[in-house]
Structure 1
Amino acid sequence: MEEILAQELRQLGASEIEIGTRNVSFEGDTGFMYKANLCCRTAIKILKPIAAFNVFKEDDLYEKIYNINWQKYMSVTGTLAVNSTVFSDYFTHSQYISLKTKDAIVDRFRDMEGERPNVDLDHPTLRINIHIDRNICTVSLDSSGQSLHKRGYKVANTLAPINEVLAAGMIMKTGWSGQCDFMDPMCGSGTILCEAAMIACNIPPNLNVEEFGFETWPDFDVDLYELIENAALKKIKEFHFKIYGYDNDANAIEKAKENIAAANLSEFITIKKADFFQTEKLQERPLFMVFNPPYDERISIRDVEHFYGQIGNTLKRNYEDTQAWLITSNLEALKFVGLRPSKKIKLFNGALESKFVKYEMYAGSRKFSKRDIT
């Protein structure tokens, strides 16, 4: 998703954008940091680096963390949490690095003020991120707080919900941005539908987040944040097509309705209980379809070959003039769809290596045969 995130940041107005491995670095002022947290659909965290230095042993780490002016970022009455990521021959245990960092910070406060701040892993005043790559340690403040995939609208979950950030990134990779109807035929708790509606209407994805990490910082500028938020809200646009979804599980439909209502998106999304394999296209116009069918992992399928075969048959018979995209980690099952994908993208759904594939169902007389099976 790095390219998608870089594109988002560019459109929002970031400068000095550099794509890394599972990260994108950029420059921006305080207002842009607020904006990135509010508006980025494919970011998990927005980190603000405050120091970088070489470390070769534990004492180096402790000393250099201790020497940072932590009083600038929190008070002794505040709380902290430390998260570490380590890629190094010198340091191998991220939890130990977090503990050593915490010790250095609280020791500095105790030595200078006679008191020490407490640790709060759930709702700290300050979240600190330590990243060690070989012998280079980067210390950052976590401006997001909780992971940004927790949008704030997910009040009810089904058994195998898709991550909100992954859902948004998948939709953006398809090229759909609200130019035609959109459908999720196996919608589960409604995540893909919610993300699609927010993309189509240009609604900030993290509008429902209860609190960002930067809101507890000493320099938080509430007036600036409200200015940024109001500017983003003014860019919301109308949507003139349909977004709809089906699921064969009545319980999933009820949960999806709850989530859609919590996201204030009920006016844009229609869902109903239906078996996709018994449906047909509602309108004689272009349709984008994005879905996350069962993989036979967390949700078991009695006959995987038959199930994926039905996906292909339904698309061929009932959904012409449709771009259908699906994600699955069951690569063997894809063979039974019986259609040749025009695009395959490697993605990870959690820890599961998956393929995000595109099937183009043309209007008219294009036929498919057994020879098209991949």
Structure 2
Amino acid sequence: MLAKTMFGFEELLEKELKDLGALNIEKGVRSVSFEGDKGFMYKANLCLRTAIKILKPVHSFRVRSEQDLYDKVYGMDWNQYLSYDHTFAIDATVNSDLFNHSLYIALKTKDAIADKFRAQHDRRPSVDLKYPDLRINVHIQKNECTISLDSSGQSLHQRGYKTATNIAPINEVLAAGLLLLSGWDGQSDFMDPMCGSGTIPIEAAMIACNIPANINRREFAFEKWGDYDQDLFDKIVDSSLKKARDFHFKIYAYDKVSSAVRKATDNVQNANLSDYIQVEQKDFFQSEKLSDDKLQMVFNPPYGERLAINMEEFYANIGDTLKQNYPNTDAWFITSNLESIKHVGLRPSRKIKLFNGKLESRLLKYEIYSGSKKAKFNK
């Protein structure tokens, strides 16, 4: 099988798969391949935090032209995956000098499958792009074509708890990846000072409590497959929930905008995490740390892409607030406004290259000590 992910998250996903018990794990670019049985495919979809899709390859071959692709797809036995009274959809990804239009590749694949059914049964399955019974993935790398069944359906970042979002919401998989890259393990208090619709605090609580990432999701594509085993899936859900653990610290979610606070509160309730996350309307720049204990902070400040603000002043305020009001804090934030980093006024101890959608970004770590850094190391 193949788990797809975001750039920079390959090692995180590799570790997740290893911890879940996958076999023959091999890291790729924005993907990790692995082996497992049907139950493991269910578990991967349910539990992986940094996966976007779980694909099950069923056939691979070399292609020389669009007609060659059509002929080889036509030659497959599609009756074992689909029937003429089902619906299907094709997703195509192309990285090849021979082919340069993924939509056309998807169309040729669709035609081959439909024509094969029409020849065999005088009827053909219909296309349903939104809610198909079977979603098929076509991946062409140079002249190698892999046909896979998409076991996930909608992207796995759609966890199911988020019913309300703000103008620039962060992707749930990206949020989980940021938290894992920051080393968040639930062993301290946590804060998101610019929480928006609450995605980062919710993902932080789920990691801290070891709650399966997609426990709130309504459905997975594999539930429509002919060999779907409801009893097996129920056992995997029960087994995964039994591994949940208590969290003995506090998670604070602040935002200065009342509408964001309402949305975050709703989403926290949807995720059944109100006992762990305290959502408040508060301006981070007017806030102070509530205790002397260690605090971990991860947040997604505005980049200036969709929200019009004075970026120099804004990022200078981030640095000033951290330095003056948040001693003994590890603060991480992601930004695609690379110029603004200069205005924070603090030296980051780590910089990690990531992408937020198509925006090249940096995940930055700032270590704020109690007293001076020199005093810290002279103790």
Decide: shared fold, TM above 0.5: yes
- Return the offset for 1:367: 7.2
1:66 to 67, 74, 92: 74
- Deviation of 1:365 after TM superposition, in Å, equals 2.8
Give the distance between the partners of 1:143 and 1:44, measured in 2 at CA: 11
Q: 1:205 is matched with which residue? A: 213
The 2-side partners of 1:211 and 1:349 are apart by 26
Aligned position for 1:344 = 351
Q: Say yes or no: does 1:314 pair with 2:315.
A: no
For 1:90 and 1:328, how far apart are their aligned partners in 2?
37
Counterparts in 2 of 1:212-227, with a 5 A limit? 212-227=220-235
CA distance in structure 1 between the aligned counterparts of 2:81 and 2:365, rounded to whole angstroms: 47
CA distance in 1, matches of 2:229, 2:73: 27
1:36-71 deviation line (CA, Å, top 9, x unaligned): 000000000000000000000112111111111111
Counterpart-to-counterpart distance in 1, 2:308 and 2:349: 27
Matches within 5 A, 1:122-141: 122-141=130-149
Aligned to 1:365: 372
Matches within 5 A, 1:288-327: 288-301=296-309, 303-327=310-334
Separation of aligned partners in 2, 1:149 and 1:210: 13
Which letter maps to 2:259? N
Instruction: Classify the secondary structure of the residue corresponding to 2:90.
Output: strand
For 2:94, which of 52, 75, 86 is the aligned residue? 86
Q: Distance in 1 between matches of 2:294 and 2:145?
A: 50
Structure 1 counterpart of 2:21: 13
2:336 pairs with one of 329, 339, 346? 329
Letter in 1 for 2:82: M
Looking at structure 2, the residues matched to 365 and 56 of structure 1 have their Cα atoms a distance apart, in angstroms, of 64
Q: CA deviation at 1:363?
A: 1.9
Q: Report the aligned-residue RMSD.
A: 1.0
1:128: Cα distance to partner?
0.2
- Per-residue CA distance 1:120-144 (angstroms, 9 max, x = gap): 0000000000000010000000000
**Paired letter, 1:364:** G
1:119 aligns with 2:148: no
Q: Who is 1:260 aligned against?
A: 268
Find the residue that maps to 1:186 and give its secondary structure. coil
Aligned residues: 367
Q: Does 1:161 find its partner at 2:179?
A: no
1:57 aligns with 2:65: yes
Question: Unaligned 5+ residue runs, structure 2?
Answer: 1-8
Q: CA deviation at 1:179?
A: 0.7
TM-score by length of 2: 0.96
Quote the Cα distance in structure 2 between the aligned partners of 1:358 and 1:240: 24
Indicate yes or no: 2:289 matched with 1:277: no
SS of 2:53 mapped into structure 1: coil
Question: How many percent of aligned residue pairs carry the same amino acid?
Answer: 62
Aligned partner (choices 176, 179, 183) of residue 184 of structure 2: 176
Shift of 1:76: 1.1
Question: Relative to 1, partners in 2 of residues 1:367 and 1:300: Cα closer, same or farther, differing over 3 Å?
Answer: farther
Q: Following the alignment from structure 1 to structure 2, what is the Cα–Cα distance between the partners of residues 15 and 6? A: 11
Partner amino acid, structure 2, of 1:288: Q
**2:44 is the alignment partner of 1:43:** no
Partner amino acid, structure 1, of 2:322: L
Q: Distance in 2 between matches of 1:296 and 1:365?
A: 32
Q: Which residue of 2 aligns with 1:355?
A: 362
* Residue matched to 2:196: 188
Alignment of 1:26 with 2:39, yes or no, is: no
Distance apart, 1:366 and its partner CA = 2.7
Give the residue type in structure 1 aligned to 2:312. E
Q: Any idea what SS the aligned residue of 1:99 has?
A: helix
For 2:205 and 2:111, locate their aligned partners in 1 and report how far apart those are by CA, in whole Å.
45
Report the secondary structure of 2:268's partner residue. helix
2:373 partner SS: coil
Amino acid at match of 1:235: K
Letter of the 2:371 partner, please give it.
G
Q: Deviations over 1:310-334 (max 9, x none)?
A: 1111111111110000101111111
For 2:268, give the aligned amino acid: I
Distance 2:168 2:21 in 1: 35
- 1:229-268, aligned counterparts within 5 Å? 229-268=237-276
Q: Give the superposition deviation at 1:271.
A: 1.0
Aligned partner of 1:371 in structure 2 is none
The code of the aligned residue for 1:223 comes to D
Per the normalisation by structure 1, the TM-score is 0.97
Q: Distance in 1 between matches of 2:297 and 2:142?
A: 43
Question: Alpha-carbon deviation of 1:306?
Answer: 1.2
State the alpha-carbon separation in 1 of the partners of residues 308 and 331 from structure 2.
23
Q: In the aligned structure 1, how far is the partner of 2:99 from the partner of 2:358?
A: 24
